Structure 1
Amino acid sequence: MNHFEKFYDETEKANVRFVGFSTEEKRYDFGIVYSHMFFGKPLVICMQSGRSTLLDTKDLKDLEFLQKIFHIESKKQAQDLATFFYTAIPILSLETQYE
């Protein structure tokens, strides 16, 4: 391990939520890992594509970001996802983690 500089190595018991739902246009299956790491942003994993990202409520306002990260075809689908995630993602007061 002499070739690597370790930045962190943390273990925590995380709360994980699995949710499947459908909209008028599409079915979704997500795993949401709530953690104290990464500014408290949950790790959101699309179980269909394997794509994942850290999300907070500010990220949900950027529909183009949601489209890109989850390969969503339309703004309507991205808006549907954002609407769901507003109920599933905690509102965070961000503190500086890195200086």
Structure 2
Amino acid sequence: MSLFDRLYDDAEQAKVRFVGFVSENGRYDFGIIYTNMFFGKPLVVCMQTGRSSLLSLEDMDNLEYLQKVFNLKSREEADEIAVFFKNNLPAESMEAESEH
């Protein structure tokens, strides 16, 4: 019997975007990995802290979650991040786009 049961082991060419911006509350550097995995949600990595999360536009309404996952100091920072991602994450998952 195997020590591990493999759930998946897929390789794909992913599109990666690196973006940095500054606001009155701080500087932010993110890597956004667009993939067909994870129901098409992009993997967003904070390059400063190494924290990451799968995010969709719907997640931008949950400021408490954004504040927790990216270890932000204030709700204002979470709001700024939400505004940025609302303008920079895809409106539809990549799976939905590839079905069209």
Length-normalised TM-score, structure 1: 0.90
Q: Percent identity?
A: 53
After the TM superposition, which residues 1-99 of structure 1 pair with which residues of structure 2 at under 5 Å, given as runs? Answer: 2-92=2-92
Q: CA deviation at 1:92?
A: 2.5
Amino acid at match of 1:87: N
Q: CA deviation at 1:87?
A: 1.5
Give secondary structure in 1 for the equivalent of 2:67.
helix
Amino acid at match of 1:67: Q
Provide the C-alpha distance between the structure 1 equivalents of 2:4 and 2:77, rounded to a whole number of angstroms: 41
- Residue by residue over 1:59-88, the C-alpha shift from the partner in whole angstroms, topping out at 9 and shown as x without a partner, is 110000000000111111111000000122
**Structure 1 runs of 4+ with >6 Å offset:** none
Give secondary structure in 2 for the equivalent of 1:13.
coil
Length-normalised TM-score, structure 2: 0.89
Give secondary structure in 1 for the equivalent of 2:44.
strand
Aligned residues: 95
For the aligned residues, what is the CA RMSD? Answer: 1.6
Stretches of structure 2 that go unaligned for 5 or more consecutive residues are: none
Judging by fraction of residues, say which structure has more helix: 2
**Greater CA drift, 65-74 or 85-94:** 85-94
Provide the C-alpha distance between the structure 1 equivalents of 2:9 and 2:76, rounded to a whole number of angstroms: 39
Stretches of structure 1 that go unaligned for 5 or more consecutive residues are: none
